[in-house]
Amino acid sequence: MWFWVVAALLTLGSCFAILWPLMRPLKGASADGSRGGAYDIEVYRDQLSELERDSAGGLISPAEAGEARAEIARRILRADQKHAAEKPAAAGRAGRWVVTVAILAVPLVSWGLYSALGSPGLPGEPLAERLAKNPADSSVGELVARAEAYLAKNPSDARGWQVLAPIYVRMNRFGDAVSAYRNAIRLGGDSGKLEAGLGEAMAGAEGGVISAGAEAAFHKALQLEPSNETARFFLATAAAQDGRPEEAAENLRSMLAGLSPDSPWRGPVNEALAELSGNSASSSGSGNTAEPAPGPTAADMKAASGMSGANRLKMIEGMVASLDRKLKENPADPDGWRRLVRSYHVLGKEKEAEDAVRRGVAALGAGTGEAKDLQAFAVSLGLARTE
């Protein structure tokens, strides 16, 4: 109730502040309530006519008639000037009324529309009250806000970070998820589940690309928990992204054999295997028996990690350049084009990556399934779509 009282007072105050200048008298208007200049002119004209009649009848002398005629003429001039000043004042008063009505109509119309379309009877619910209500009646956003408020006061609660981290992943807040997983590991100790979740969050933050950091997290998860399904699946995906489809398929088949019949991982594993089989079939049916173009693999990256920064970059760029040359010789290699685009993207060479997408689409044939897959892969990396 108090909200509406305050809102009404603020609205009226704003309208009054706007209308106040319009309430001041207009320059030229009659402030003493006397009749207008037009009426005075008519009176003086009647006096002039009466003077002429008296002069003609000999009631006053010609000298007196002349003086009276001059005085009436002066009064007519003053009245005429007054009448001329009253014309814009009258127009100004009409404009004032229009503006006043328009200003007063704004709050009246807005209040009426809100009463019809809004929910004025809905009680207010501050954030503190929303966070204090039963969790079963709260939305996901309110639950996350409650958890964040709690962790802001209790940042050393490892269990809280463990609960919040996977929720961040489901909300696609991957950067927050990475921070939450790292806090959970730092405060509560390492585990296969937490390392696998950290790797998944890092992969999500990279647009689906499994970086060296994410791959290291998955390997650590398997060291702590050899049967961790999340880590096994993403490591197989990493092998496929690095141009090792046979290894990826073998890992997926091994994983599938150990899954229970009702495991939620059966669908994703079967889909990944079907995709790998389709890529293999399309490559074998292309009529080109040349081997796929090699690219920098995870082993190459690991070997280069012990070098100095300049030498390591030079080695990686040399391997990427070699891959680019191989694709010019054997352009019918969809996996090779994906590796080249990914390599340029990892090196931060976005223009070269987009150029590789254009060349790959042209080589594979615009409109073909391989070209569309290459474009979709480039978009997943955050590159501009190339038509």
381-386 long-range contacts, CB within 8 A, separation 24+: 381/207, 381/208, 381/209, 381/341, 381/342, 381/345, 381/353, 382/207, 382/345, 383/341, 383/345, 383/350, 383/353, 383/354, 383/357, 384/354, 386/354, 386/357, 386/358, 386/361
Average pLDDT over residues 250-258: 90
Indicate the range of 69-83, 158-172, 299-313 predicted with least confidence. 299-313
3-state secondary structure of 207: coil
Q: Is the pLDDT of residue 344 over 50?
A: yes
Helices 174-188 and 192-205: angle between axes, nearest 10 degrees: 160
Among residues 377, 287, 378, which one has the least CA distance to residue 330?
Answer: 287
Range 114-141 burial, b when 16+ CB lie within 10 A, else e: eeeeeeeeeeeeeeeeebeeeeeebeee
The answer to whether residue 161 scores a pLDDT higher than 50 is yes
From the number of C-beta atoms within 10 Å of its C-beta (0-12, 13-18, 19+), residue 328 rates as exposed
The pLDDT assigned to 232 comes to 92
- Mean pLDDT, to the nearest integer, of 337-361? 86
Task: Specify the pLDDT at position 231.
Answer: 93
pLDDT at 140 exceeding the cut of 70: yes
Residue 1, helix vs strand vs coil: coil
- Look at residue 6 and tell me whether its pLDDT is greater than 70: yes
- Residue 120's pLDDT is 58
- Judge whether residue 142 has pLDDT over 60: yes
Is the predicted pLDDT of residue 34 greater than 60, yes or no? no
Mean predicted lDDT score pLDDT of the chain: 75
More reliable by pLDDT, 103 or 369: 369
Summarised one tens digit per residue, pLDDT across range 283-330 is 444 444 344 444 444 445 444 444 444 555 666 676 778 788 888 888
When computed from its CA atoms, the radius of gyration of the chain, rounded to whole angstroms, is 43
Give the integer Cα–Cα distance in Å for 268 and 325.
35
Average pLDDT over residues 41-52: 75
Between CA 79 and CA 43 the distance in angstroms is 10
The upper half-sphere exposure of residue 355, i.e. CA atoms within 13 Å in the direction of its Cβ, equals 6
Per-residue pLDDT at 86:
57
pLDDT at residue 39, as a whole number:
66
- Decide if 330 contacts 290 (C-beta within 8 A): yes
Residue 35: pLDDT above 60? Answer: no
| pLDDT value of residue 274 | 82
State yes or no: pLDDT of 124 exceeds 80: no
* DSSP 8-state class, residue 385: P
DSSP state for residue 347 in the 8-state scheme: T
Among 224, 229, 238, 234, residue whose Cα is nearest residue 258: 229
**Does the pTM exceed 0.75?**
no
Contact of 336 with 293, CB cutoff 8 Å: yes
pLDDT of residue 191: 93
Give the pLDDT confidence score for residue 235 in this predicted structure: 92
| Contacts (Cβ under 8 Å, ≥6 apart) of 360 | 327, 331, 334, 337, 340, 341, 371, 374
Of the two residues 176 and 136, the one the predictor is more confident about is: 176
Quick check: 48 and 86 in contact, CB under 8 A? no
Band (122; pLDDT cuts 50, 70, 90): low
Confidence of residue 82 (pLDDT cuts 50, 70, 90): low
pLDDT band at residue 194 under the 50/70/90 scheme: very high
Q: Are 312 and 318 in contact (CB under 8 A)?
A: no
Other beta carbons within 10 Å of 352? 17
pLDDT of residue 92: 58
Average pLDDT over residues 361-372: 86
Between 216 and 105, name the one with better pLDDT.
216
> What pLDDT was estimated at residue 211?
84
Average pLDDT over residues 14-43: 60
Contacts of 88 by beta carbon, 8 Å cutoff, 6+ apart: 26, 28
**Average pLDDT, integer, range 227-236:** 91
Q: Determine the residue type at 135.
A: P
